[in-house]
Amino acid sequence: MPSKVKQPPLKRINKRRLLQTPRGMKDILPEDYLYYDYLIEVTKKTLEFYNFRRCEPPVLEKAELYNKSIGSNTDIVEKEMYTLKTKEEGEFLALRPEYTAGIVRAYIENGMFNWPQPIKLYSFGPVFRHEKPQAGRYRQFYQLNIESIGDASSALDAEVILASRAFLENLGFNQSDLEIRINSIGCNRCRPLYIRALVRYCKQHLKDICKDCQKRLKTNPLRVLDCKNPKCVVIKEKAPSFLDYLCGDCKDHFKNVLDILDNVGVSYVLDKTLVRGLDYYSRTVFEIRKKEKETSLSLAGGGRYDYLVKLLGGLDRPAVGVAFGVERLVEELKVIKKKFEFPKPKVFLIQIGDAAKKQAFILLEKLRKANILTEANLEKDNINSQIKNADRVNAPYALILGQQEVLDGMIILKDMTSGLQETIPLERIIEELKKRLVRKF
């Protein structure tokens, strides 16, 4: 067994004198990126089975795209967008606060409405919201976003929910730990009736709701249902239910979605106060969260947005989608103790002397080409420090190349478990290692 290597004491720096990341943003270090790699891999594997294809709009879009789609009275547009004016053209651009608007713009701009519908796309990348940073809430975070554009069928609402469920299951989550909350917020015909009833109800309790909600009653009354202020939470419990105001078509649509979920055996909770923080939704809306805590943050949120394509200048094309918060998924994967490691080197190459170092560069490239994961310290001349590193890396084999070996065209192969050493012709070393590695693994 390799000896335990003593770590040198940590050096410290004065963080206050450093230029640090902006508030609410963080570096994704290599150990954490293993989780992102895993998420990307599972995304690809899962969504390809549901026939979604990857599509990435730019990180910057015209700010107007978001004003128009998410809604100018929403928190995202009013308070949270990072905007800038370009120096030469004076264009107002925004860092994307979400994917849906950019994907719909891409759908229209690239003529995807002429392709066979629905168009099923997914994206994975950073989004930006200037929110108050707290646990699970960042100003730069990644989303996995899924959209199905061009068809009004309730089958597609159900498919997006089923794909979301499969994705979480493939990641390693237990279905029984998750909760899908679902509601219907109707269409342009029935929603105004509901909003009128909600405003009427809230006006009867005007003194009991928070100041923000009193304002929201004038600008965006549905947001009252989303308020987390304990006073408003009590009032909204007795608020009228959307389901009592749905028109016949919206009722049928919602019933069909629930029927499919029931038939497939997906459990869900009907949540009559579920509305979403973006204005483009219609009919089905849903969120997925961990069951354990009433207050737990959502892992994913989505729903139908049947009017958005037309609103952004396209044809009348209904759509449905969902987005996952990647950092929240990573945090949950850590809670369920999912662990990842960097691939372990199979060989450590030690070189002694100038001629050996030259030869080592050539050999190392050959080993990499042969897919034999090898580590070496070609920057080091000291044999002891190379041996120390070979121990730390814990590779099953070490190769030792000294002046004499170079002259003889040989190399020493050391089995790090048994300690046995053999001298082997350099030209045969790759073939020899491959044989032994197959036997060992």
Q: In the complex, which residues of this chain contact ligand HAM (CB under 6 A)?
A: 98-100, 129, 131, 136-138, 141, 143, 145, 147, 277-278, 298-303, 305, 321-325, 327-328
In what helix (H) or strand (E) does residue 398 lie, and over which residues does it extend? strand 397-401
Tell me how many degrees the CA angle 292-297-301 measures, rounded to the nearest 5: 110
Nearer CB in complex with ligand HAM: 301/402: 301
| Residue 275 beta carbon to ligand HAM: minimum distance, rounded to whole angstroms | 11
Q: Going by C-beta distance under 8 Å and a sequence separation of 6 or more, which residues neighbour residue 252?
A: none
Tell me the β-bridge partners of 181. Answer: 269, 287
Please give the residue whose beta carbon sits closest to ligand HAM in the complex: 325
Compute CA 143 distance to the chain's CA centroid, rounded to the nearest angstrom: 4
Nearer CB in complex with ligand HAM: 179/327: 327
| Residue 392 beta carbon to ligand HAM: minimum distance, rounded to whole angstroms | 36
| Residue 32 beta carbon to ligand HAM: minimum distance, rounded to whole angstroms | 14
In the numeric block, which tokens belong to residue 408? Answer: 């003889």
Nearer CB in complex with ligand HAM: 224/320: 320
Q: What is d(CA 278, CA 76) in angstroms, rounded to the nearest whole number? A: 8
Q: What is d(CA 157, CA 182) in angstroms, rounded to the nearest whole number? A: 11
Q: What is d(CA 228, CA 220) in angstroms, rounded to the nearest whole number? A: 16
Q: What is d(CA 306, CA 323) in angstroms, rounded to the nearest whole number? A: 17
Nearer CB in complex with ligand HAM: 28/383: 28
* Residue bearing tokens 């109800």: 201
| Residue 374 beta carbon to ligand HAM: minimum distance, rounded to whole angstroms | 39
Pairing mode, if any, of strands 269-270 and 347-351?
Answer: unpaired
Q: Which amino acid is at 330?
A: V
| Residue 71 beta carbon to ligand HAM: minimum distance, rounded to whole angstroms | 12
| Residue 80 beta carbon to ligand HAM: minimum distance, rounded to whole angstroms | 8
Nearer CB in complex with ligand HAM: 71/325: 325
Nearer CB in complex with ligand HAM: 83/404: 83
